[in-house]
Structure 1
């Protein structure tokens, strides 16, 4: 059995998957493990939307692609670059065997009258959701799956909410694609000593 060290160091962002489907029970177990992440005040602000139907993934991908195209055209990028970026984004969502939209809800979080503490509470919720995402990705890798964290929903939350008819308090944070890797990927990290201070 793999140790936690091997699971953490072996995880990769996988963008190309084989045709093998991901079982519903497997996805359910991944979400259960994701929900064991620590959270601010133990409020567990994560919300999950399993995109089980291909037509729902395609609708979401198409609407997100349209929003991305409009943004890139506004940025006045070259047309060929726009087409390349939009096509890549659409393919990453629609070609994955499974996908989970991860959202955040402030419904159970504390509220404050002053903006500074309110912003901190919102950030605490976002950090909590990020920890759940990491749990999900590590659990997927431990079960032989690959996953990729896409933060594109942050750039078009209203588009995502409308495409999937989400509750108003479900704030889209990330899209996690899942599947069995088409091939193994290598990766590296800079020495942690370069990013560490001791005091």
Structure 2
């Protein structure tokens, strides 16, 4: 795809109304050549297809077109709409339309592109490609540009992977969004204010295909490949929702860096008296981990037998719950360090002081769990170390003022946890 390009506006189109034959209007307005690429603003497609909606409340129209809120800041919403596109306001447009009305995107932009292409071919006999374009903002970049939301007769992506560059290097990740580049080029000669909703890109006849092709759908990044699927607050809420207790883990190792990133989130928790009452012991030594779990098991068996009077079978059933700590790829021991706590003669105030530090440690552990969930790791926070703190301190050689506050098992979940039913907020709220 090399050579000189021309980008030509198509002037003289009438105001588009419902039922308009766009293919015929374009064919009449410009002398098309084989291999031309016709870029059509989605707004006139919407008008021709009767996608005009009388709506005094644009927000309600956006709600109706929204499948998923990606990010929200004030009144601005980035959403995934019913066409699968992620964009501002679901593509609902109140410009270039009469007051009290809004334009929705075409119901199926690829189908619209195929229809216009077929009509042009019927009337002119010329094989062209058709793109339906709309204006998008972009992550990381200021300003807007047109992109392709519908396509016919064009491979929308040009995959360079496996080719070599001028220096002989093999290209590993380069995939050019050809359709988006063409849509942006067309927008240079189109414009809302000038009333020129169609452009022709000429000079790339090799890009035009005999078949209609897969349309613009391949341009939409798959969710599993989308590292920016959510805005900040939405990502936090989703990570919190994903934070589930996982008891069966895949064998995949957990990188030490992932644990440390989660600890960095953990130590942002609120704490009393400007203290930092959290410590996290990362059991990266397999032998030290085995020694700890064996010592904890022996202590548990002894206490259940001597203090609680349990028989061997009951003890075995109870201690089997701790096997998940052996199966997990990674293990973290959160500890409370009450350095900086105030001391009171009154026992009640001293107990409250201790509780403040325990609550802070709980907040830190929650941060840890949520951060790990955000990276796709499952966790199980179990209380076992709290019942044999002296054993834990001895085996791990911890200071006497470090109080273990359970253990966190970490790993990739072996299966996707079932969806948790949404809990009604009112059941947990008291208003006075």
- Normalised by the length of structure 1, the TM-score is 0.92
Match of 2:410 in 1: 178
Q: Number of residue pairs matched?
A: 198
Match of 2:316 in 1: 83
- What does residue range 142-161 of structure 1 map to in structure 2 within 5 Å? 142-161=374-393
**1:136 CA displacement:** 0.2
CA shift in 2, pair 1:194/1:86, >3 Å: same
Are 2:335 and 2:402, in contact at CA under 8 Å, matched by a contact in 1? yes
Are 1:57 and 1:93, in contact at CA under 8 Å, matched by a contact in 2? no
The CA RMSD over aligned residues, in Å, is 1.6
**1:112 CA displacement:** 2.6
Distance 1:159 1:117 in 2: 29
Give the secondary structure class of the aligned counterpart of 2:254: coil
Residues 1:127 and 2:359 aligned together: yes
Distance 1:198 1:108 in 2: 35
**1:146 CA displacement:** 0.7
Distance 1:193 1:30 in 2: 31
Structure 1 stretch displaced more, 27-36 or 189-198: 189-198
Give the secondary structure class of the aligned counterpart of 2:328: coil
Match of 2:297 in 1: 65
The structure that is helix-richer by fraction is 1
Deviating above 4 A after TM superposition, structure 1's stretches of 4 or more consecutive aligned residues are none
Query: Residue by residue, what CA displacement relative to the aligned partner does 1:139-197 show, whole Å, maximum 9, x if unpaired?
Result: 00000111111111111111111111110111111211111111111234653433332
Q: Which of 1 and 2 has higher RCO (CA within 8 Å, sep 6+)?
A: 1
Match of 1:167 in 2: 399
Question: Which ranges of structure 1 fall in alignment gaps of 5 or more residues?
Answer: none
Are 1:54 and 1:94, in contact at CA under 8 Å, matched by a contact in 2? no
Give the secondary structure class of the aligned counterpart of 2:291: helix
Distance 1:13 1:42 in 2: 31
Residues 1:111 and 2:335 aligned together: no
Match of 1:97 in 2: 329
**1:60 CA displacement:** 1.0
